[in-house]
Amino acid sequence: MTRLAGRVAALALSLAFVAACGKTVPAPPPERAGPLRQPDEACEPDEACQGVGGVASAEPPTSASASAAPAQVAPPDASFEPMRIALDAGAMGTKISISAFTTPTLGETDLRAAITRALDEIKRLEVVMTTWREDSEISRVNAAAGGAAVPVGPDTLAVIDKSLWIAKKSEGTFDISFDAMRGLWKFDEGASDKIPARAAVDKARKLIDYRRIEVDDNASTVRLTSKGMRISLGGIAKGYAVDAAARILDAAKVPAFFVQAGGDLFVRGKKPDGVPFKVGVRDPRGGVADFFATLQVEDHAFSTAGDYERSFMQQGKRYHHIIDPRTGYPADASRSVTIWAPDAFTADAIDDAVFILGPDKGLALVESIDGVGAVIVDKKNKVWVSKRLENVVQKFRDPVDGP
């Protein structure tokens, strides 16, 4: 994997969160947390939403949101009209959207409080894991590269452990040490369509190697063995944060909600009328609201990687922010990848790797992980659907072709 600037980019394959019933009352949006990166383009709460998510059973540390038991839905009350409470805010360099429904036993005040706590948890994790603050745990690890191990908290340790797990499973195509290339490709702050010199790319690429990241789980420390190495959790931290927010809503016994951070989405439960929520898979060469397939979703997460949100064209060739660490240049095997999985943490870890590997090796990776599925649009605009999603995805047209 490597999404430059911490995968600040919009995680490409937009998912449409098809409108839920009930009256919507937006919560007052809080101020944007910190300078960080430009926000991902996202949707209005009642319309199209970008999404993603996943979990791999017994192997790596996983988020608890997928395994948490859904809150029990109160018996129908004909006189009760559910109210949808929606909050939009900026955090982790993207747009955060949280939406949930009141119930006969969970009123507006308590629901707003739960949603606010969920957002606060995302902002807390941002401070811990960002590379855009010198005092974050990740920045301290980077500053000590080539030197001593650095103590980190349980959240950072869990995300790094999961990152190393998927790095091993994906032949190193997901590699959090890609941040050694920061500043060469500029798709975010100070965006530029200048292609870096191959010599500079090759020099930086020598510092990309997840095997030189040493983790001591007992001591809760992380060490980068080579001076000049850098890590970024931008390609996986949002999925972890989405699941953390979902756990808070589960604890508050919220029966139906979604949490979205850019391209990472987790959906709990069904709409108040009992109808499943539906998501749409965005056409990578279409507009923001153009979808070529849909899926019903309940208690699942999605993560999307695509080549269209942060990109530029030169001489008919598209250059984008998903960098293949094996070459140092934008990956060219896929146009978009949507990962379906039980929690957002795993899905966020997998989507870039599948995008870089392409449909053959990418689908093999997907099938090797319990509960994970994928929809891939490859470089020739062919749609590939993994076995677990063959009877779930409803494709109603081919994606639009184009460079």
Residue 54, token pair as written in the block: 């996943």
Tokens of 216: 């001591």
3-state SS class at 238: helix
For residue 78, which of 271, 275, 273, 277 has the smallest C-alpha distance? 273
Q: d(Cα 272, Cα 225) in Å, to the nearest integer?
A: 52
- Size of the chain, expressed as the number of residues it contains: 403
Closest CA to 7 of 233, 160, 337: 233
How does pLDDT run across 215-230, given as a tens digit for each residue? 999 999 999 999 999 9
pLDDT in tens, 320-362: 989 999 999 999 999 999 999 999 999 999 999 999 999 999 9
DSSP at 152: -
How is the chain split among helix, strand and coil, in percent rounded to 5? Answer: 25, 25, 45
Question: Across the chain, how many H-helices and E-strands are there?
Answer: 8, 21
Q: How many CB atoms lie within 10 A of CB 200?
A: 13
Where residue 268 falls among pLDDT bands split at 50, 70, 90? very high
User: Left if phi > 0, otherwise alpha if psi is -120 to 50, otherwise beta: which for 402?
Assistant: left
278-324 residue pLDDT tens: 989 999 998 888 999 999 899 999 888 999 888 889 888 999 989 99
Q: What is the pLDDT of residues 2-38, one digit of tens each?
A: 443 333 333 333 334 433 333 344 443 333 222 222 2
Q: What is the pTM (predicted TM-score) of this model?
A: 0.82
By three-state DSSP, how is residue 89 classified?
strand
* pLDDT value for 192: 83
CB 301 within 8 A of CB 344: yes
**pLDDT band at residue 63, thresholds of 50, 70 and 90?**
very low
Q: Is 330 helix (H, G, I), strand (E, B) or coil?
A: strand
Q: What percent of the chain has pLDDT over 70?
A: 80
CA distances from 133 to 92, 121, 136 (A): 12, 18, 6
Contact 288, 322 (CB under 8 A): no
At 42, which amino acid appears? A
Strands 291-297 and 277-282: antiparallel
Q: In Å, how far are 38, 167, 319, 339 from 173, measured between CA atoms?
A: 25, 6, 18, 16
Q: Which domains does the chain have, with CATH numbers?
A: 4-129+236-322+332-395 (3.10.520.10), 137-224 (1.10.3980.10)
